[in-house]
Amino acid sequence: MPLFKTIQHNDFTKIFVWEIEESYHDLFDNIVLNDRSKERLSGMKSELHQRGFLSVRYLLKLAGYTDFDLYYNEYGKPILKDGKHISITHSYQFSAIIISNVDVGIDVEMNRDKIIRIYDRFVNTRVDSLSKEDMVKQLTVIWGAKEAMYKTYPYGGLSFHNHIAIDPFLFADKRTSGRVNFDNWKKEYDIWFTFFNEGFTMVYAIPSKKLKVKRIK
């Protein structure tokens, strides 16, 4: 079972990453799905998407859950029955989940040149800053960060370009910050990113806790 890595971010937040090497049948034959998941799976035209969907159920099992513990709100946001927060992602041969006591988001993306052609759809140069580092990787981090923050919003309708911003970063930092500003949802996030397997970027976002500093008189 190819669990690629786990990250214990803090006492109440953990990430599980799966490298999808199994066939569809190997994955399907060894997992129990609820009726809604069976219906969703049968409606997927891509086997790659099906394998990603099934591998997420294996990650749930590793985290101590089953498919019956997971449901979705009317906007498609996943929710765990025990009240924990979860975010889900899969891209080509990788899938990942993040589980926490606070609302979190995660995204895995393959680094692809075509992101340069569409960057103006999600990069707002009034609030997002670009450096001189590798543009494909940099834009993939920005996209992943915005996707992760987007996933914390429970109602849908956010614009990557207009409602979500990310602060400047360097690859060596492996972290940055960002914010969502839409209607009454105004939140700051701490963001972590990592590159792996020669061509993939994983980004996750956790609500920021601003420390109150005591003033010494």
- Count the domains in the chain: 2
Q: How many CB atoms lie within 10 A of CB 135?
A: 14
pLDDT for the residue numbered 1: 58
Same domain, yes or no, for 135 and 97? Answer: no
Same domain, yes or no, for 87 and 58? Answer: yes
Same domain, yes or no, for 110 and 203? Answer: yes
Q: Helices marked H in 135-190 — which ranges?
A: 135-152, 160-163
pLDDT for the residue numbered 210: 60
pLDDT for the residue numbered 133: 85
Same domain, yes or no, for 91 and 111? Answer: no
Higher pLDDT, 200 or 183: 200
Share of residues in the chain with pLDDT > 90 (%): 87
Same domain, yes or no, for 11 and 77? Answer: yes
Q: Is residue 216 part of a domain?
A: no
Q: How many CB atoms lie within 10 A of CB 64?
A: 10
Burial 13-35 (b: 16+ CB within 10 A, else e): bbbbbbbbebeeeebbeebebee
Same domain, yes or no, for 36 and 97? Answer: yes
Same domain, yes or no, for 93 and 37? Answer: yes
pLDDT for the residue numbered 18: 97
Asked if residue 211 has pLDDT above 70, the reply is no
Q: Is residue 214 part of a domain?
A: no
Look up the domain containing 75 and give its range: 3-102
pLDDT for the residue numbered 215: 35
Same domain, yes or no, for 10 and 33? Answer: yes
Tell me how far apart the alpha carbons of residues 176 and 168 are, in angstroms, rounded to a whole number: 7
Asked if residue 216 has pLDDT above 80, the reply is no
**pLDDT band with cut points at 50, 70 and 90 for residue 198:** confident
What is the pTM assigned to this prediction? 0.93
Tell me how far apart the alpha carbons of residues 55 and 28 are, in angstroms, rounded to a whole number: 9
Give pLDDT tens digits for 2-14: 899 999 999 999 9
- Cβ proximity of 147 and 118 under 8 Å: no
Last residue of a domain, one of 43, 69, 102: 102
Q: Is residue 212 part of a domain?
A: no
Same domain, yes or no, for 201 and 160? Answer: yes
Same domain, yes or no, for 19 and 49? Answer: yes
- Cβ proximity of 168 and 191 under 8 Å: no
Asked if residue 145 has pLDDT above 80, the reply is yes
Task: Give me the CATH number covering residue 89.
Answer: 3.90.470.20
Q: Is residue 202 part of a domain?
A: yes
For residue 48, give the 3-state DSSP assignment. Answer: helix
- Which residues share a beta bridge with 90? 95
- Cβ proximity of 6 and 15 under 8 Å: yes
Give pLDDT tens digits for 109-130: 999 999 999 999 999 888 788 8
pLDDT for the residue numbered 127: 78
Q: Which residue type, as a one-letter code, is found at position 5?
A: K
Asked if residue 213 has pLDDT above 80, the reply is no
Q: Is residue 21 part of a domain?
A: yes
Last residue of a domain, one of 51, 77, 102: 102
Same domain, yes or no, for 98 and 110? Answer: no
Distances (CA, A) of 74 to 87, 89, 91, 155: 15, 18, 23, 8
Question: Which range is least confidently modeled, 8-12, 43-47, 63-67, 210-214?
Answer: 210-214
Last residue of a domain, one of 82, 102, 122: 102
Q: Is residue 12 part of a domain?
A: yes
